[in-house]
């Protein structure tokens, strides 16, 4: 999965998205802070490939993108909107292919602009990036070629506090950054930077009215942060090999960025630091039980503004959850299965 799969919906309920063999499932709280319902299939009974991208707009609506098989050896992208966690999502709608037709070209990424329009990005056959975006009054614009070369499979899409959509991609020995110059415009390739990047470790977060920050792991295993216009900085040694999840939150009256990652020991590791002040330093604190090697971690805030962390093991489907306690620091409740 690409993107935050733990979300707080418009109605305050938390939900998670997970993959089965040929479908996307959703689990949601029955009420904010309450028990969780059983998994339900999202978007109807259409058969899908096991890949999913998730994005959420300021309106709380979740936008999902996935690949579906079409004819032998070919696939196409589909999109669904989920307005509220306990309501049925819209049926999957075909949105085409970055090369008009062909097989899967990469893992999609989704970002939603201030007007609630989903933007779906995916690597194309030539190694660049293709994008398709919703029209403001329904339907979809044509696919656009955003250029780029030797783009690696997984992209990181994010919406800045300005409501404009941005995209990050890893290439051999560096990173690329696209940004909308104005709402509704085609994102343009604005900047590149030379830095060693481990594939599959990108995660982007809006961190100020002017900036978004990209987190990634370099080839030495350090977790790094990059804001376009500056140089990448090493934040701390990565807790484990996979991507981090990141969320903005208030800790003891300070605007902080909280990171979570499955550690090499198998537990969930957390690190927090003042937002955009990487020089302040950060360190990992591990929490919870040991998780399977395929377990993922995601962060969100609940209806009361408390940080919530979830771990999901695709092999077993086990979902574990913890919340921040109502006390100073980053004290967490005991992890529990839901």
Per residue in 238-280, pLDDT tens?
A: 999 888 999 999 998 999 999 999 999 999 999 999 999 999 9
Q: Which residue has the tokens 């075909």?
A: 94
Tell me, yes or no, whether 115 and 193 share the same domain.
yes
- Mean pLDDT for 189-212 is 96
Q: Is the pLDDT confidence value at 283 over 90?
A: yes
- Tell me, yes or no, whether 255 and 225 share the same domain: no
pLDDT single digits (tens) 122-163: 999 999 999 999 998 889 999 999 999 999 988 999 999 999
Are residues 156 and 120 both part of a single domain?
Answer: yes
Domain count for the chain: 3
User: What is d(CA 314, CA 178) in angstroms, rounded to the nearest whole number?
Assistant: 32
Q: Among 177, 154, 157, which Cα is nearest to 112's?
A: 157
d(CA 50, CA 25) in angstroms, rounded, equals: 11
Q: Is residue 209 part of a domain?
A: yes
Same domain, 293 and 321: yes
User: What's the whole-model pTM score?
Assistant: 0.96
Both 159 and 181 in a single domain?
Answer: yes
Same-domain status, 109 and 233: yes
Domain assignment present for residue 110? The answer is: yes
Do 113 and 178 lie in one domain? The reply is: yes
Has residue 323 been placed in a domain? yes
pLDDT of residue 217: 97
Q: What pLDDT does 229 receive? A: 95
pLDDT of residue 138: 86
**129 and 171 co-located in one domain:** yes
Among 190, 211, 237, residue at a domain's last position = 237
Section 277-287 average pLDDT: 96
Residues 232 and 122 in one domain: yes
Domain interval for residue 205: 104-237
d(CA 46, CA 23): 7
User: What is the rounded CA–CA span in Å between residue 232 and residue 225?
Assistant: 6
121 plus 232 within the same structural domain: yes
Judging by DSSP bridges, how do beta strands 254-262 and 245-251 pair with one another?
antiparallel
Q: What percent of the chain has pLDDT over 90?
A: 88
Does 311 fall in a domain?
yes
pLDDT, position 314: 83
Residue 58 lies in a domain: no
Q: How much is the average pLDDT of 173-183?
A: 96
In a domain, 54, yes or no: no
Triad 119, 123, 129: Cα angle to 5°: 65
Check whether residue 200 and residue 108 sit in a common domain: yes
> Averaged over 314-323, what is the pLDDT?
89
Kindly indicate the confidence band of residue 70, based on its pLDDT and cuts at 50, 70 and 90.
very high
What's the CATH number where 200 sits?
2.120.10.10
What is the pLDDT of the chain when averaged over all its residues?
A: 95
Q: How far does CA 213 lie from the centroid of its chain? A: 13
């Amino acid at each position: 999965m690409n993107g935050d799969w733990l979300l707080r919906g418009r109605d305050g309920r938390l939900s998670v998205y997970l993959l089965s063999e040929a479908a996307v499932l959703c689990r949601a709280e029955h009420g904010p802070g309450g028990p969780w319902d059983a998994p339900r299939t999202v978007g109807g009974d259409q058969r899908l490939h096991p890949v999913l991208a998730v994005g959420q707009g300021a309106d709380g609506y979740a936008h999902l993108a996935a690949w579906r098989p079409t004819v032998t050896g070919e696939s196409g992208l589909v999109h669904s909107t989920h307005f509220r966690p306990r309501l049925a999502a819209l049926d999957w709608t075909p949105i085409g292919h970055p090369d008009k037709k062909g097989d899967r070209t990469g893992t999609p990424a989704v970002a939603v602009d201030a007007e609630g329009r989903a933007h779906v990005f995916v690597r194309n056959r030539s190694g660049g990036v293709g994008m398709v975006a919703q029209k403001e009054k329904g339907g979809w614009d044509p696919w656009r070629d955003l250029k780029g070369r030797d783009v690696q499979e997984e992209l990181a899409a994010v919406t800045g506090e300005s409501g404009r959509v941005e995209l990050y991609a890893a290439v051999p020995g560096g990173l690329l950054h696209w940004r909308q110059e104005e709402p509704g415009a085609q994102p343009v390739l604005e900047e590149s930077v030379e830095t060693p990047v481990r594939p599959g470790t990108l995660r982007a977060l809006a961190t100020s009215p002017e900036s978004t920050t990209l987190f990634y792991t370099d080839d030495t295993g350090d977790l790094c942060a990059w804001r376009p216009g500056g140089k990448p900085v090493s934040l701390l040694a990565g807790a484990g090999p996979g991507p981090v999840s990141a969320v903005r939150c208030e800790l003891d009256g300070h605007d902080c960025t909280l990171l979570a990652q499955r550690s090499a020991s198998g537990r969930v590791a957390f690190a927090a630091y003042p937002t955009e002040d990487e020089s302040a330093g950060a360190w990992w604190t591990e929490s919870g039980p040991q998780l399977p090697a395929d377990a993922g971690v995601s962060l969100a805030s609940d209806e009361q503004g408390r940080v919530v962390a979830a771990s999901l093991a695709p092999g077993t489907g086990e979902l574990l959850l913890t919340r921040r306690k109502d006390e100073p620091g980053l004290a967490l409740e005991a992890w529990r299965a839901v």
